[in-house]
Amino acid sequence: MSETTAELMSFFETSELGTDCFAQYANLVFQSAKSHEAFADLLREYEQRVARGEGDALHAGVGYLILGRFQQAGQWLAKADDSRYRHYWAAQAATAHHAFDEAIAAYKKAAAAGWDPFEIDMRCAELHLRSGDATAATKLVKVHERDGADRADWYYVRGLLVEQAGDRAAAIDLYEKALALDPDHVPTMFRAAWLYDLRGDDDKAIELYKRLALQPRAHVNALMNLAVIYEDIGRYDDAITCLQRVLVAYPNHTRARLFLKDVESSRKMVIDDAIEKRVESRNRLLATPISEFELSVRARNCLKKMNIQTLGDLLKLTEQELLAYKNFGETSLEEINQLLAKRGLRLGQRPEDIDPAALVPAPPEPPRVTVPPGTEALLSKPVFELELSVRARRCLQRLNIETVGELIQRTEAELLAARNFGVTSLNEIKTRLKELGLSLAPKS
């Protein structure tokens, strides 16, 4: 028997089933796929012990709650003896099923049986908010104005209240106060990360999501959201790692499976596109006519007599082959070497070793949109002030569109060609521009 298995077995003998105990064993269970599978096997064996009268329903119920199997957890907890543990964990199971009234009733029974009244009130306040009763939640928060000022839970619930009221900036301030008191407060980290993500502050969002993801019992929604950000900024391998961690814990997580396929496809598309663009750029460079380069008459005539018409023809030759030609001297060779060196090229270079960046960038296209009179000041307006959805905003970021002026130079087709940019986002942008008296560029 391994040391980990022995430690997992000790769960069924412990008499303390509070939140610290739950976190301890949940972290152990989720530290690897092997330990997760081992605990599931031990739990099935424990069920048989309960059936023989050698165990209790409470440990079975909390065990299934650790695994995230909420229906089985609720069924076992309903059979458990009356205790504060039974009611508290039954409330957790009911919350997972969105049975908020049932969960609130169970929490109140846990408080009556001796659970911390402050924690119970904060859990109930959160459930009131989730069920749409902000008034009830506010009352519970006010009850603890004096004793809650130094507890992260109190600031967290206050943050939920102002966030629901639409004041995201105030919510972030309250979440930051909660994290100052408890840097590892999981629900606060998640809400703050989500708001930072909405605000476009990827660095802060990623920092918090990563802290959540580093925990053995990682927050599934945090991993999913972090995967979305990574996918949006092109960090496909990191996105895949996040989704694989979700699937280790929950192999049947449908959304994670579908998203993983999308990310893997996106990674392949990006690699294929990059290769295709590199080859296209290189071929375009090799096809550049020699006549486009500034060469002396002697060097130009020599190359013409050698039937060297393009840059690709020239690069196939070595210095010795050029010098062997009649009237081609050291001066012409030095001239050609300098010409190629400016472009990061050399004689005898293999095509696959050529850097397409040697191509001279094409001059920028002139604006395609005539700005309506009186709207010139709108052109410098940042696109984030248009209050677009997260997906639409991220698509514009990938296209390096920062201002309204840059946005209206794009056509519908150009926007729709961007990865993850759909008709819904397009219609959203067109609506915002119409409100400003503007529109996208016409079809070219």
pLDDT digits (tens, 9 = 90+) for 246-281: 887 677 788 888 888 888 876 665 444 445 556 666
- Shared domain for 337 and 402, answered yes or no, is no
CATH of the domain at 331: 1.10.150.20
Question: Percent of the chain scored above 90 by pLDDT?
Answer: 35
Torsion on CA atoms 199, 172, 209, 229, rounded to nearest 10: -10
* Contact (Cβ atoms closer than 8 angstroms) between residue 368 and residue 442: yes
- Shared domain for 318 and 391, answered yes or no, is no
Token readout for 336 is: 């050609």
pLDDT tens profile 90-104: 999 999 889 999 999
Based on C-alpha coordinates, what's the Rg of the chain? 32
CATH of the domain at 93: 1.25.40
- Shared domain for 2 and 61, answered yes or no, is yes
Torsion on CA atoms 281, 286, 291, 292, rounded to nearest 10: 20
- Shared domain for 344 and 311, answered yes or no, is yes
Residue ranges of E strands in 309-436:
none
- Shared domain for 2 and 88, answered yes or no, is yes
CA pair distance 353, 355, nearest whole angstrom: 7
Residue 365: pLDDT over 50: no
pLDDT the model gives residue 371: 57
pLDDT the model gives residue 73: 95
pLDDT the model gives residue 119: 95
* Domain assignment present for 7: yes
- Shared domain for 345 and 427, answered yes or no, is no
Residue 313: pLDDT over 90: no
pLDDT the model gives residue 192: 93
* Domain assignment present for 381: yes
Taking phi first (over 0 means left), then psi (-120 to 50 degrees means alpha), and beta for anything else, what does residue 348 get? left
pLDDT the model gives residue 360: 44
* Domain assignment present for 251: no
Angstrom distances, CA of residue 414 to CA of 88, 258, 379, 408? 54, 27, 19, 11
Which range marks the domain in which residue 383 is found? Answer: 376-435
- Please say which residue of 351, 368, 384 terminates a domain: 351
Token readout for 384 is: 């984030």
pLDDT tens profile 405-429: 888 888 888 888 776 777 888 888 9
pLDDT tens profile 214-223: 776 667 888 8
Residue 105: pLDDT over 90: yes
* Domain assignment present for 122: no
Domain count, the chain: 3
Cα–Cα nearest to 212, from 196, 234, 235 = 196
CA pair distance 57, 63, nearest whole angstrom: 10
* Domain assignment present for 130: no
> What mean pLDDT do residues 23-41 have?
88
> What mean pLDDT do residues 287-309 have?
83
CA pair distance 353, 14, nearest whole angstrom: 65
> What mean pLDDT do residues 288-293 have?
80
* Domain assignment present for 189: no
- Shared domain for 387 and 347, answered yes or no, is no
pLDDT tens profile 427-442: 889 988 888 888 888 8
* Domain assignment present for 366: no
H or E element in which residue 76 lies: helix 70-79
pTM, 2 dp? 0.59
- Shared domain for 380 and 347, answered yes or no, is no
> What mean pLDDT do residues 19-41 have?
88
* Domain assignment present for 344: yes
> What mean pLDDT do residues 313-331 have?
84
pLDDT the model gives residue 358: 47
- Please say which residue of 81, 111, 141 terminates a domain: 111
pLDDT the model gives residue 216: 66
- Please say which residue of 70, 96, 111 terminates a domain: 111
- Shared domain for 15 and 98, answered yes or no, is yes
Residue 388: pLDDT over 90: no
CA pair distance 220, 255, nearest whole angstrom: 11
Describe the crossing of helices 117-130 and 100-112 by its angle, rounded to 10 degrees.
Answer: 170
